Structure 1
Amino acid sequence: MAKFPTVRTPTIEEVLDIAEGYGMTITVEDAESYRGLMEGTIASYHRLDDLDEPKLPVKYPRSTGYRPPPEENPYNAWYWKSEVKGRGGGPLKGKRVVLKDNICLAGVPMMNGATVLEGYVPDIDATVVTRILDAGGTIIGKAANTYLCFDGGSATTATGMVENPHKKGYTSGGSSAGSGVLVAIGEADMALGGDQGGSIRMPACWCGIYGHKPTHGTGSLHRDLPHRADPRPHRPDGALGERRGGPAPARSGPRQRFTELGATVDEISIPMHLDGPHIWNGIAVEGATAMMLKGNGFGTNWEGYYATSLIDAYARGWRSRPDDLSETVKTVMMLGEYMHRNYHGRYYAKAQNLSRRLRETYDAVLAEYDVLAMPTLPMLATELPAPDCSREHYVDVALNMLANTCPFDATGHPAMTVPCGKADDSPIGMMLIGKRYDDATVIQAAAAFETLGVFRT
């Protein structure tokens, strides 16, 4: 019996429609000709269906787990509880690790905070998962995050707003909202997040814990939504391998209590820092629209493993139910499409070029200083929006805190938020920024500051 092809040849009407969409003028005869030319290439797609797709090994057994009931989930921080034990020894032996729910864990549901992905179960482990388990850690489940990660607050999470553990009714920060909460309340020893605008540092700040965004290129992005294989130069070894102990760095940025540790402290000004959010917006809006929406979370021209089951599930979900997308996602996708149609990627390209200048501006200062310090966020945790609030307020609460964090996602510098105080029952974070690939100094500075006992959750 002949196999029914899964990729069909387009009809004449479809060819005419596609041509019209590109502004071309063709006749029916032209369409017939193009259709015939396409058939030869479509044979390659039929052959692809016949070939076995490689699957990445899943090395450790696990329980499917369960969605915790409200009594086990008072802050809505959990998406799914499960258990995967790593090898018997290693640097993470005995550590309970929770994953942000945009990271693939085979056999355990993944939703990425979005109704349009609910019900999807990955069949692979992300590289970071395998590395945690190889290091002896135990993965205890998935932490809730905001809708497709398009929210620096914690209100858009489809499974319920994630509440601040220090102040009920207030945002925990996002998009790695549940990751911050579960560490803060002691249900996990550590958590994985993702940081493309501040999504590790923001919840860590408002939850009163430490959150580190590594230098771009030091960590694997394989098989995380919306990440794939990272095309940037990788330096996975050495970034954390030196300067584990000893005194604090010799020089740091704004005046802080590092003087008590023997550091030389100066106040400095970096005027271009104020342009960082504008540069980041120029990259993020069109980039997210192209990759996360039109590219169905993976895009094209990336090396590494593509999770085809995830592409299928996500594409079917959001394209069949676009009205279910969050207000933040809708705003970004409509603006991104508008910019693409009318300005053809010019501003995305210019912002990418300017990000190099921004990086060089920070690099010039970091040539004289070991770390820079500044407030992680420009405000205390804000109230979660009421269900009947305006769209404008809802989106503002989701995106109004990015100014200090997002520039360092455009430049790739390591940045870490460190608890440094509390006001009105809300934690305050200090952000430390270091030279690229010198994450060790940033962590060392944070550890030195911690010895002062300035803040405890």
Structure 2
Amino acid sequence: MSPHANLITSPCATRSAWLVALVRPLRGRIIAHRPANRRPPVPNDHRLALAGYGGSKMVRRIQRSELNELSREFHFSIEETELSEYEKLTEFVFGILDGLDIKVSANGGNVTAVRDPGHRPKPEEDPFNAVVRWCHVKANLDGPLSGKRIGLKDAIAVAGVPMTCGSGIMQGFVPTEDSVITDRLLRAGATITAITNMDNLAFSGGGDTSTYGSTLNPFDQTRTAGGSSGGSAAALFYDRVDAAIGADQGGSIRIPAAWCGVIGLKPTHSLVPYVGIAGIDQTFDHCGPLALTVEDAALLLQVIAGPAESDPRQRAGVQTKNYVQLVSDAKDDLRGVRVGVLKEGFSEAIGIEKETAKATQGAIERMRQLGAEVRDVSVPDHLASAGPIAFAGFVEGMTALVSGGGNGWHWKGRYWPELALGLGEGLTMHGNELPPQVKVTLMCGAHLRRHYFGSYYARAQNLRPGLTAAYDHVLGEVDFLLMPTTPGRAHVDNKSLSISEHVMRGWSMLSNTAPFDMTGHPALTIPAGESGGLPVGVMLVGRQFQDGEMLGFARTYEKSFGWVPEHPAAALR
């Protein structure tokens, strides 16, 4: 019998024995003061080694003068006579935590690759300000993406390449591990050529909050590309980028795709792993492809989709389909396909622009020409509850994420310790560089936490299944929902707006996109409309995990009508 068999005889025995095992090696080391340059002796007990004890970094100790300040955050106080006792206890706790310095890779180690972090673009290399960094990262592997040059949003980790999330507070941060999807792209033969511009910390859809400046619209450079993944859309008009990846929590793939006249897919939530990508809230973090053709979008999805044990966002038993085959097999007509035109998606309540509505109706007529059965449908909750649900998630989710070092808490899966330090240190030293969108969000989130203790976030989360069911009910009667991707066309890059005007404008186009981040339905914007020379995105929404069928629908339309407008004269392709 194992000498430690008594440690597993009962839950109570387990807990008490575990504590004894921790305390015994530390006995005599709990002291009031320790010179700052002395490392505590590492205990020999193998159970502590299994727990991760034995690292080389040391937790900064709480000073006696800080104890009452910390206690007041939780509405209690420490008596003067108790300070030394609590100081000893904090020393005990941090003596254990000193051991948490074991590095475990999410991918089992980075794939061997050429990793040239490259350089910031010259103006002539990047007229749309779409690229934060030209780079060259390639593994010596062949696969379905061989020869494809891919741009990644500046929130997606590529080992050895700076990642800033479009923010001044993240300058100098260089990931040491690839994100899961970066790893998949490289193993599939892709070459990563660009890190693309994005809104500051991904918290605007306007395309004009990046610390590197606005991303400009390829069709009209007095307007923005949209956001937050604006660079991933605009860079598709460069010869050095064949396809791109963005991230989407409120519309951040679909808004810039719509404004730049490209294809953008927010996949079903959990279909594509998000590990190694800076997010906002794991319950609605999404990443997906942007491309000039449906075939390229399907090819990217084929490579990046599928389960990853390290990602808790993914539902049990996530199964992928052959998206490339579904697109290849797309019919030449849409006979038998039922399209539900969502009434609320055209409502004046969301600020719909007449030109946008008219262009979308034109695309609907072309779908009818292909044989689609088109009918009007209504989901009142699209207007009544989707907005409050989304904003509660944005505000409290973002606040919790920042407080939790970009990771949050209370979930199983792969955390990102280096991001926690990079974000925390950057915020501490350069907090004034946060954009107004994030400042107001953090203030509102802190207020809600202080006075309502997370109850608004809890209410919003409890309402999400009902919102999901409302869309599911209609999707039981039609195959796809359809609406304009955004209420209006690309914004003019206006530097004279007041702070409040700028912030609210950056959130003004989320009404049709954000609801499906909350429900997780797949949503695809296609460049099927135009007005005044500007693209108008038409958004399809499908049943959960019918991403491939939706891409097939888009391919049928693409074969017959192509995309509009034609590529802009400013394109470098």
Q: Is contact 1:12-1:28 (8 Å) kept?
A: no
Q: 2:320 aligns with which of 233, 238, 255?
A: 238
SS of residue paired to 1:182: helix
> What is the match of residue 353 of structure 2?
none
> What is the match of residue 223 of structure 2?
170
Q: 1:64 to 1:7 in 2, by over 3 A?
A: same
Q: CA RMSD in A?
A: 1.9
The reply on whether 1:126 has 2:179 as its aligned counterpart is yes
Q: Is contact 1:218-1:239 (8 Å) kept?
A: no
Q: Is contact 1:240-1:439 (8 Å) kept?
A: no
The reply on whether 1:252 has 2:339 as its aligned counterpart is yes
Gap runs ≥5 in structure 2: 1-36, 41-56, 283-310, 342-360, 567-573
**Aligned-partner Cα distance in 2 for 1:234–1:422:** 41
Q: 2:114 aligns with which of 42, 61, 72?
A: 61
| Greater CA drift, 234-243 or 281-290 | 234-243
Q: Is contact 1:16-1:28 (8 Å) kept?
A: no
Which residue identity is paired with 2:265? H
Q: How does 1:27-46 map to 2 (within 5 A)?
A: 27-46=79-98
The reply on whether 1:213 has 2:300 as its aligned counterpart is no
Q: How does 1:62-141 map to 2 (within 5 A)?
A: 62-141=115-194
Q: Is contact 1:289-1:336 (8 Å) kept?
A: yes
**Aligned-partner Cα distance in 2 for 1:113–1:57:** 27
How far residue 21 of structure 1 moved from its aligned partner, in angstroms, is: 2.1
**Aligned-partner Cα distance in 2 for 1:308–1:353:** 30
SS of residue paired to 1:122: coil
Q: Is contact 1:221-1:230 (8 Å) kept?
A: no
The reply on whether 1:431 has 2:431 as its aligned counterpart is no
> What is the match of residue 323 of structure 1?
432
> What is the match of residue 279 of structure 1?
389
How far residue 140 of structure 1 moved from its aligned partner, in angstroms, is: 0.6
**Aligned-partner Cα distance in 2 for 1:231–1:442:** 22
> What is the match of residue 372 of structure 1?
481
| Greater CA drift, 132-141 or 204-213 | 132-141
Which residue identity is paired with 1:377? T
Q: Is contact 2:271-2:320 (8 Å) kept?
A: no
Which residue identity is paired with 1:294? S
How far residue 435 of structure 1 moved from its aligned partner, in angstroms, is: 0.4
Q: How does 1:298-309 map to 2 (within 5 A)?
A: 298-309=407-418
The reply on whether 1:408 has 2:408 as its aligned counterpart is no
Return the index of the structure with the highest Cα Rg: 2
Q: 2:72 aligns with which of 20, 28, 32?
A: 20
| Greater CA drift, 181-190 or 332-341 | 181-190
The reply on whether 1:3 has 2:11 as its aligned counterpart is no
| Greater CA drift, 204-213 or 421-430 | 421-430
Cα deviation per residue 1:128-154 (whole Å; 9 max; x = unaligned)? 011111112111120011100011011
How far residue 9 of structure 1 moved from its aligned partner, in angstroms, is: 3.4
How far residue 186 of structure 1 moved from its aligned partner, in angstroms, is: 4.6
**Aligned-partner Cα distance in 2 for 1:236–1:130:** 19
Q: 1:235 to 1:373 in 2, by over 3 A?
A: farther
Q: Percent identity?
A: 35
Q: How does 1:148-187 map to 2 (within 5 A)?
A: 148-187=201-240
Which residue identity is paired with 1:250? V
Gap runs ≥5 in structure 1: none
Cα deviation per residue 1:140-195 (whole Å; 9 max; x = unaligned)? 12001110001101110101111111011111110001000011445411100000
TM-score, scaled relative to structure 1: 0.94
How far residue 20 of structure 1 moved from its aligned partner, in angstroms, is: 1.8
TM-score, scaled relative to structure 2: 0.76
| Greater CA drift, 242-251 or 308-317 | 242-251
> What is the match of residue 445 of structure 1?
553
Q: 1:246 to 1:47 in 2, by over 3 A?
A: closer
Q: Is contact 2:479-2:542 (8 Å) kept?
A: yes
**Aligned-partner Cα distance in 2 for 1:373–1:87:** 42
**Aligned-partner Cα distance in 1 for 2:239–2:258:** 16
Q: Is contact 1:421-1:454 (8 Å) kept?
A: no
Q: 1:278 to 1:443 in 2, by over 3 A?
A: same
Q: Is contact 1:217-1:234 (8 Å) kept?
A: no
How far residue 8 of structure 1 moved from its aligned partner, in angstroms, is: 4.0
Which residue identity is paired with 2:120? R
Q: 1:265 aligns with which of 343, 367, 374?
A: 374
Q: What is the aligned residue count?
A: 453
**Aligned-partner Cα distance in 1 for 2:454–2:141:** 50
Cα deviation per residue 1:373-431 (whole Å; 9 max; x = unaligned)? 11100001111121x43111211231111000000000000000011121122100110
| Greater CA drift, 211-220 or 223-232 | 223-232
SS of residue paired to 2:137: strand
> What is the match of residue 340 of structure 1?
449
